[in-house]
Amino acid sequence: MRSRHVNGIITSLAASALMGLFLTSVQVKADTQQVQQPVAQTTQQNADSTKQSSTTVYTESSKEVPVVSYTDHQSKPNNDHWSNPAKYKDAIPVQILGINDVHGNIDTTGKTWIGYRSYQNAGNAARLAGYLNNAESDFKKKNPNGTTIRVEAGDIVGASPATSSLLQDEPTMHALKQMHIEIGTLGNHEFDEGLDEFDRVLEGKAPKKGQFNQEEQDYPHENSSIQIVVSNLVRKSDGKVPFGWKPYIIKELEYNGKKSKIGFIGIDTTDLPKLTFAKNLKDYEVLDEAESIAKYDKILQDQGVHAIVVLAHTGVETYKGQTQGDAVKILQKLYRIDPDNSVDLYIAAHSHQYANGGVGNTKLVQAASFSKAYDDAIGYIDPSTNDFVKGSLITHVYPVMSATDDKEIQPDPAVEQVIKDAEQRTSKITNSVIGKAAAAKDITKDLNSDTENAIGDLVVDAQMAEAKREGIVADIAITNGGGVRSDLKVEKDGSIKWQSAQSVQPFSNQIQVFEATGKQLYDLLNSQYDSSNGSRYYLLSGMHYVYTTQNDKAFPKKVAVLYDGNNHPVDPNKVYRVITSNYLVDSTSQLKGAKKVADIGVDTDIFVNYLKHQTEEGNLITAPILSRKKAVTPEEAKQLIKEAQDELNKMSHSSSEDNE
């Protein structure tokens, strides 16, 4: 995309409410976010026959490049439309197959939205590999001797189901090796156990003796062969990218005697300080995404590389003709500071959503999460310019369908063997029954209109109950929605297995008791309604609250009254005991520096023990009633606030008399 300027900007006015999910995999649609109107759209036919809408966004300070959205209608590339290879006989065909946010989900399935429809039981790494193989085969049929490069955009490991996590995510790295993933970047979860541990797993080095369980010690350790690129993470000590990783790499291409190059730049989110423990980042500096891309785009172009791909762990979503998210914001900034940039393709991640669109001349995609989808980008590079021929690069995103929905694509046998081996090694733990449900029905992550879900409520109920069992007094348990990773799967006989509980709470976060004022609790809960925070939400036990709307674009909602377990209003000046993860205290300004007063244990163990104890005591597990957040009208809120203040004043007066 060398020396290209964006012309024909459509005059319109809009402001994007960007997603930037706070460590969550919940499907949150764009129409639930704050999007200012009016937004002008045009609809036309794209070269690949997918519908396209174009929205041009203006900021107060400058004109922005157009944001274009596509909707994928096909489920596989075989029946889709691409640029005609016959038009590019003198060019070099290249295919980029991308995945993101696998999170160790090599043997799980679930629902996903791709394009205009949802797919049930999508996923499984062996089937993903089969789809990648099929996509490459389809490309090679039309472009013999063309080059396919397989890449990933971060969070491949971390917050993983037991089949992978019990073996330190090494089975996932084995699966990626069998998938022939060549290049990747970092997400926030690669930091979960520190970058040293991620690098060990990446390179297949054996752990220290006794460091992990025996199954992990005995697991074959193999180098993944993935080249990591990350341009905006550097050591504070010397300003260099750590572990010998590179800010960018260049791949040589050859086709029918013609040669060219393609460059890959890696980017991690600058939200890292909010998303991992401070100790994991203390030696590193995270640089601005757009500025880092611009820097290395210039370096690549100076070397004659003008076909450039960015692998970026930053979120985006395409929904109802709108493509929005941090990735859009970053690309718009890139065009402001470097309008002649040559970034052709931006493969996004982190928000776990479907996206297929473009910003300016840059195509932008994201393939959901958990092995449930993949990106497919095909274009033609002119060896005389070392850039994609204008209009030749076309992108699609496809689902990884279940064997029931698609009997044609077969799972990759090598990846299938990796999964079976890992399942066998971990089965003694993962298949053990730990509890019994009242009904043979999964307890789900499905959010109601108040951003509350049953499994999240059950998690914080478990933390309160297990603390009480240990004689630890607390007023509230609270967790961020992203800390609850999956539905609680219940077997047909009502039994609950260890692996299901671990999938819900896989982080191995320390759950502790902290002291915080009522004001801090109000501030934390109100941060959910900060329009700049995307879809952050909290689940709570021991307290409940009512909230209302207000005429404030930055905070369109607010907590009216927070009530304690006895239905008394929470006093902003009183100190309360809060059960939460060390991660949440470490990563939120509202709880930063809160005093720790007790340890409860590790999140997985607490949830497993709760299910065991409840079942042993004859309390079959049920989905909690969703009643801890309630919307009220502004008029009702005023009355409730007045009643709460009157009660607090009365309690304060009574306390003063007692002290006389």
pLDDT band at 587 (very low <50, low <70, confident <90, very high): confident
pLDDT in the model for residue 173: 98
pLDDT in the model for residue 169: 96
> How far is residue 502's CA from residue 512's CA, in Å, rounded to a whole number?
19
> How far is residue 659's CA from residue 476's CA, in Å, rounded to a whole number?
27
Which of the listed CATH numbers 3.60.21.10, 2.60.120.650, 3.40.50.2020, 1.20.58.740 matches domain 30-78+94-418?
3.60.21.10
Q: Report the pLDDT averaged over residues 619-637.
A: 97
DSSP secondary structure string for all residues of 58-100: E-SSSEEEEEEEEE---SSGGGS----GGGGTTSEEEEEEEE-
pLDDT in the model for residue 53: 52
- End-to-end CA separation in angstroms for the chain: 78
User: Is residue 81 predicted with pLDDT exceeding 70?
Assistant: yes
User: Is residue 303 predicted with pLDDT exceeding 60?
Assistant: yes
Residue entry with tokens 């790494």:
125
> How far is residue 569's CA from residue 157's CA, in Å, rounded to a whole number?
42
Q: C-alpha angle 403/135/92, rounded to 5°?
A: 180
Tens digit of pLDDT for each residue in 487-539?
999 999 999 999 999 999 988 788 999 999 999 999 999 999 998 876 789 99
Q: Report the pLDDT averaged over residues 336-360.
A: 97
pLDDT in the model for residue 435: 97
- State how far the alpha carbon of 288 is from the alpha carbons of 313, 351, 453, 473, in Å: 13, 19, 35, 43
Residue type present at position 594: A
Percent of the chain predicted with pLDDT > 90: 79
- State how far the alpha carbon of 105 is from the alpha carbons of 100, 456, 499, 518, in Å: 11, 20, 12, 39
Q: Which one has a higher pLDDT value, 219 or 27?
A: 219
Residue entry with tokens 């789900």:
444
Residues 6+ apart with CB under 8 A from 150: 97, 98, 99, 132, 179, 180, 181, 182, 183
Q: Report the pLDDT averaged over residues 281-309.
A: 98
pLDDT in the model for residue 27: 30
Burial 175-197 (b: 16+ CB within 10 A, else e): bbbbbbbbbbbbbbbbbbbbbeb
Tens digit of pLDDT for each residue in 439-472?
999 999 999 999 999 999 999 999 999 999 999 9
Domain boundaries, the chain: 30-78+94-418, 431-634
pLDDT in the model for residue 59: 38
| Beta carbons of 516 and 591 less than 8 angstroms apart | yes
pLDDT in the model for residue 189: 92
pLDDT band at 237 (very low <50, low <70, confident <90, very high): very high
Query: How much is the mean pLDDT over the chain?
Result: 89
Q: Report the pLDDT averaged over residues 424-438.
A: 93
pLDDT in the model for residue 655: 63
Give the CATH fold of the 431-634 domain: 5'-nucleotidase;  domain 2 (3.90.780)
> Is the C-alpha dihedral spanning 453, 454, 455, 459 positive or negative?
positive
> How far is residue 320's CA from residue 354's CA, in Å, rounded to a whole number?
12
| Residue closest to 14 by CA, chosen among 39, 33, 32 | 39
Q: C-alpha angle 250/251/256, rounded to 5°?
A: 140
pLDDT in the model for residue 48: 38
| Beta carbons of 571 and 530 less than 8 angstroms apart | no
> Is the C-alpha dihedral spanning 237, 241, 244, 250 positive or negative?
negative
